[in-house]
Structure 1
Amino acid sequence: MRFLAALLMWLVTTVALAAAVPANWVQARIVDEDGYASLAASAARDHRLQDAMAAELTNQVVALAGDKGYTLNPQLTRQVADSYTRNSGFPGQFAQANRIAHRWMFTGAVQSSNSTDQWLIDVAPMLSDPSFRANLGNLDLQVPDTLTVPITVDSPELRPGKLRPLATWGPWAAIGTAALTAVFALLTLAAARSRGKAMSALGVSALLVGAAGWAGIEVGSRYVDAALNRTTGDIRTVAEVMVATGEASLHQWLNITLLTGGGLVLLGVVAAALGGARRRATADPSSATSVRLR
């Protein structure tokens, strides 16, 4: 009966851990605005994203200059944009520009009065950056407070605040799954006859979850590709790099899960071995005292 109880607790722990790892990653890196901005800053260090954003910024500044009556050389402007996206301040600017896109999807903040069925990114902070404007000479280009570029094509499935429920319940799901994992892991240890074997079993749970997570990412890549087909122009490259950066971040979490699982298995084996040696020593008859008959 005790074995069955420990087995049931172990199964529940494994399921809870399988939910806790992705739930906490999504909360930390996608739902949380600061976490998403940090992810964007990491992606902005990739040369492919820098090249794509340089091309998009070139298009935007040439169009903005044209509206003001100036004719800019696209090649020279592209050199300025390349220099900007390669400097150390670009990741922070790119992260800031992505915050408005995050707010649009997770809070419903309207980005543009002309388009509510597109996910947009605000490039105004980048065009307003002193390092960018300094290379444009004395052109009187007044960058608006907000200058949005569409990330996706128009789609009725995309609307402001579509992911608001995730922003509302995501933190609770992350905390709840983590708490359930901890509680049922302790119950597994309490129900098991051998703490060492129970610890090894919990390590196996972590190994299973980590391996399943890697496999799940591979299977889910086809759906990610379908979602990327909604993106437009150079922004598609930006989206691809963002997705790749997100996958790398999730891989790190899964690797930590695998390493933790391997460590628990080793600790459990050592604990089980020491426990077995202690029980054998207790079972041996004492030979410390002898009786002499004279």
Structure 2
Amino acid sequence: MRSFVSAVAVVLGLLLAAVAVPAIWVDRNIVQEEGFVALAAPLGKDPTFQKRLAAAAVGGIDTGGAIPGPLAEAVRPLLESAAASLTGLPGYPAAWEETLRKSHRLNFAAAGTVPSDADSATSITLDVAPLVALAAGQISERLGVPLEAPEQTLLTVGQSSQRQLIEQVAVYAPLGYSMAVGAGIAFLLALVAARRRWKVLVGTGLGALGVAGLWSLGSRWASDAVMGTASGNEVADLFKREFVAASASGFGSWILAGAVTGAVLLGAGLVFGLLGGAARRR
């Protein structure tokens, strides 16, 4: 009976851990604003993405009301120059970080606080308004003419079905911490109930290695599923591709940690089993 209880506890602990670890990673790195900014911030340093992002930001500037029609064509080279130099401005890192924060709040806003814009309510969006404001300020200084920067400049990054998934993830991801506690209790119960604890270590180690493999497959499947959709916007698709790659890499380190933990438990269980067997033969 003790062996049965121990085996059930190990299986339960592995099932809880299999769900808890990805949920905790998602909560810390995507649902929570600070984690999202830390994960996505390096994307702003990618040269290709910087170029596309700067062009989109400058393209969001409304020059029609401030610049007379005959001069609009003459201003175009200045706009192109601003796009080329935007990422080199001292205020670019702060503007990019604010872009990420505004975008996170827009997509993870609580019910009733999402702006009334239809796109922001039904799809995953990236708000590049801080970058547009930075570009507008630079061009205004050169022209001596104030340019108006919009409060929102939205780029669609994902579809409505993915937005619904984000809303569900925001609700359920924090439950991963409770599941992790439950997994720890289950493993402790397995050790207490076991007649031969080295078997618990071996079983848990093997299970952890298997779970790490499932996490790897699941991460690859999720990445392919997200990348299988196109927004039709080059900047948005580039951001999505780079963010998915960063997420897969970030969770990959957790998968590696899980595999190493499984290998250590397996090795420890085998060593204790051999030592215990040798002691009993004496």
User: Scaled by the length of structure 1, what TM-score is found?
Assistant: 0.79
Match of 1:222 in 2: 224
1:133 to 132, 138, 152: 138
Match of 1:4 in 2: 4
The answer to whether the aligner puts 1:167 opposite 2:165 as a matched pair is no
1:277–1:46 distance in 2 versus 1, CA, 3 Å: farther
Distance in structure 1 (CA, Å) of the matches to 2:40 and 2:225: 21
The answer to whether the aligner puts 1:40 opposite 2:44 as a matched pair is no
Unmatched segments (≥5 aa) in structure 2:
none
1:254–1:48 distance in 2 versus 1, CA, 3 Å: farther
Match of 2:55 in 1: 55
Deviations 1:216-262 (A, max 9, x none): 22233432123x31352322111111111111111111111111111
- Deviation of 1:80 after TM superposition, in Å, equals 1.1
Rg (Cα) greater in structure: 1
Q: Percent identity?
A: 25
The answer to whether the aligner puts 1:68 opposite 2:66 as a matched pair is yes
1:54–1:145 distance in 2 versus 1, CA, 3 Å: closer
Match of 1:288 in 2: none
The answer to whether the aligner puts 1:238 opposite 2:239 as a matched pair is yes
- Deviation of 1:91 after TM superposition, in Å, equals 4.8
Q: Which has the higher helix share?
A: 2
Distance in structure 2 (CA, Å) of the matches to 1:72 and 1:78: 11
- How many equivalent pairs are there? 272
1:196–1:47 distance in 2 versus 1, CA, 3 Å: farther
Distance in structure 1 (CA, Å) of the matches to 2:130 and 2:114: 17
The answer to whether the aligner puts 1:151 opposite 2:149 as a matched pair is no
2:45 is paired with a residue whose SS is coil
Distance in structure 2 (CA, Å) of the matches to 1:135 and 1:79: 16
Q: Which amino acid aligns with 2:173?
A: G
Moved more, 4-13 or 112-121: 112-121
Unmatched segments (≥5 aa) in structure 1:
285-294
Q: Which amino acid aligns with 2:151?
A: T
Distance in structure 2 (CA, Å) of the matches to 1:7 and 1:175: 23
- Deviation of 1:184 after TM superposition, in Å, equals 0.9
1:121 is paired with a residue whose SS is strand
- Deviation of 1:188 after TM superposition, in Å, equals 1.6
RMSD (Å), alpha carbons: 3.0
Q: Which amino acid aligns with 1:72?
A: R
Match of 1:23 in 2: 23
Match of 1:250 in 2: 251
Moved more, 2-11 or 208-217: 2-11
